[in-house]
Chains A and B, each alone.
Chain A
């Protein structure tokens, strides 16, 4: 398996522009998570899906952020309009649930976003 695939790996954009980050989870995994990582705030859980349904979006910082999972193999995180404070590394992770008693998250390589 190729693992969790994220794109783009790097994105530089100007304030006010729309940003779309993409994620393909591991085949067979039924839960998908979006995290944001910054030096100041660490790894923050933004939203997670189970069987393509959003379960908890309480971590989504503002209405400017939205996430979708139209099918089991694809998810997007959209920021519109983007602001400089959105600059961070955005990670997507997936899990097949409790395996051997552990909820093991497999992370993608991340999308580094810079908003100028």
Chain B
């Protein structure tokens, strides 16, 4: 089977850096993805890691360690608009399974 664990919520202040961790157990692992979902909206793709290491996309970076079955999403220079839920997801072939999500609250 497949399972993912991530914190249920994180609070940070505007301009700060926050890291959201994700550990997973799965068979047939292809990669780890991150999605953002604002209240009332649909999940939108942020980043993907298939290999160990750090991937950077603007203010967002994502890290993967396949040997540790662990990854994280790093958000820098936090803005109020970053308040949302963040989901890690594991892909095995076409199948993508999502974690329960981390609710990020950004305070002024």
Contacts and interface: CB of A to CB of B under 8 A. Distances in A.
Interface in B51-93: 87, 91
Contacts of A56: 95
A16 interface: no
Contacts of B41: 109
A33 B42 CA distance: 14
Interface residues of A, number: 24
Contacts of B30: 103
A105 B96 contact: yes
Nearest to B42: A107
Given A42-B101, A107-B42, A107-B43, A101 B50 contact: yes
A108 B42 contact: yes
B48 interface: yes
B97 A45 contact: yes
A106 B48 CA distance: 14
A31 B94 contact: yes
Given A103-B30, A107-B42, A45 B94 contact: no
Given A48-B95, A102-B48, 4 more contacts: A35-B98, A95-B94, A101-B48, A102-B45
Nearest to A44: B98
Nearest to B93: A103
B94 A102 contact: no
A97 B94 contact: yes
B44 interface: yes
A34 interface: no
